[in-house]
Amino acid sequence: MFHHNHHHHHKNPMDHLIKKASGLFHHDDDQGDTNTQQTADTDIETSHTAKYYLARNDQIEEPGHVPRGDCASLKDVIHGPEDPTPYLNPLDDNFRHEIIKYGEFIQGTYDAFDFNTYSDYCGSCLYSIDRMFEKVGLARNGYIMTKYLYAMSRARLPRWLEKSWHPNAWNYDSNWIGYMAVSNDEETARIGIRDIVVPWRGTMAAGEWLKDFEFLLQHIGPDKDDDIKVEHGFYSLYSSKSDDTRYNQTSAQDQFLTELRRLVNFFRERGEQVSLTTTGHSLGAALAYLAAYDAAQEFQDLPVTIVTFGGPRVGNNKFCDFLEQRKVKAIRVVVKHDFIPRMPGIVFNKELEKIEEVADSWHWLYTHYGHVLEIDVESSPYVNHKRDSSGYHNLELHLHLIDGHISSSEMTKFRENAKRDVALVNKSCGMLKEETLVPSCWYQPAFKGLVRNHLGRWVIPQREPEDIPPPPDTVTPLSVFE
């Protein structure tokens, strides 16, 4: 069903290979820079110029409300056994909109996350469960949020944990990592199935991945002899818990499975067909795979789909074999020049694949799983094509490129009728050309969140009472679906 790409890594032999690997990797980068510059200097055959973009604002479609067709006929392609390959190449418009829909669910976790270390609620969601979609512009996405998910970790991971400097901080051990939502009746009719979605947030600083990865593989299968292994750091974040914390007395894993059981049992008792879609970006992509694995263990007859953006390798070939045996479907969206999907592992380019025979005897073996949708930065006439490893990993850039993608045979062309707002690319990066007149990293609170209080002093405001982080076991009553 899926092609597994086998790459290997080992702790002890790494030192004597680093120099060679680094040299080969940088050699590729230098060559890529030359090719990229040559492409950037060549006019792309499209009417989509910066001037064209500025002149067509009345045609822009809002996030969370992209007009989508009736996708009930695609139910088995997205949430069932049918092969999605013909819909990925060339990219079918309805399939495109569904992928973007799941990407926007993830983007909402970034837009609603409190990064402000001066806030006493740093690391939480800025808004309550019933207000979050509205506050991040996704109120019309057709889903009802049911639960927030929190995570902690005893492993060293790249800056995923944000901590408040406030002396009375709400929490020092956990961060809001994602949520669970369910399609409402209208959306369920449109897609042909009651869909449970679980978006997972990624890390904040892409550049820290290289130095902070924990490459150890660990067993996760119920039988320790089954050789199913995943990356230790990812699993630590997913499964860690402590009685000394408020929000992680149960792990993100336990929180997810408890809510999944509640939702699946409720809708099945009503005679409905239910699906699960786990989705994530970067680190969140790894968590999406771990959640899909658990769901496939828990409900062997539940259709499970994974949709990820810029995700790293997560487990070994046995882990991927299990997903395939349980017919878990996976769609991996990958930007051509993004280095995160090449990790963990030492195979950065074709030259290093020569080491693969030696690596077969090592314990470090990581494998990608799923259908790949590769997109190219050089297809967009709005984006600065100079190499920027952090910018290439940006989620909004992924969504922009998906909106313009045509097919694998036309990687450098951009779709003429793409309507997603180009300005969104620069929400948290500076990838757009200056001619678009969109400033870098524009998505931020006015005055960096400070307001003038009744004494005339500039202070961080108190949150609205309904937006104070709820107790960790808070869920939306299922009566909202009746």
- Catalytic pick from 173, 338, 376, 403? 338
Cβ–Cβ < 8 Å for 288, 314: no
Maximum CA extent, the chain: 71
DSSP sequence for 203-256: -S-GGGHHHH----EEE-SSSTTS--EEEHHHHHHHH---TT-SS-SS-HHHHH
Determine the 3-state secondary structure of 289 from DSSP: helix
Q: 79 Cβ partners below 8 Å, 6+ apart?
A: 191, 192, 193, 195, 275, 277, 303, 305, 329
Catalytic one of 174, 236, 282, 380: 282
- Point out the catalytic residue in the list 79, 393, 398, 400: 393
Contact in structure between 380 and 400 (CB atoms under 8 Å): yes
Helices vs. strands in the chain: H and E counts, helices first: 15, 13
Find out whether 115 and 148 touch, Cβ atoms under 8 Å: no
11-33 burial, b for 16+ CB within 10 Å, e for fewer? eeeeeebeeebeeebeeebeeee
Pick from 358, 402, 338: nearest CA to 66: 402
Do 86 and 427 contact (CB within 8 A), yes or no?
Answer: no
Q: Is 29 a catalytic residue?
A: no
**Contact criterion met (CB below 8 Å) for 94 and 69:** yes
CA distance 478 to 385: 48
Q: How many CA atoms lie within 13 A of 194 on its CB side?
A: 19
Nearest to 314 by CA among 280, 348, 362, 360: 280
Q: Tell me, yes or no, if 227 is annotated catalytic.
A: no
Residue 282 falls in the annotated catalytic set: yes
CB atoms within 10 A of CB 5: 15
- Residues 234, 286: Cα–Cα separation, whole Å: 7
Half-sphere exposure of 417 toward its Cβ, with a 13 Å CA cutoff?
A: 3
User: CA 238 to CA 200: how far, in whole Å?
Assistant: 11
Q: Which residues are catalytic, by number?
A: 282, 338, 393
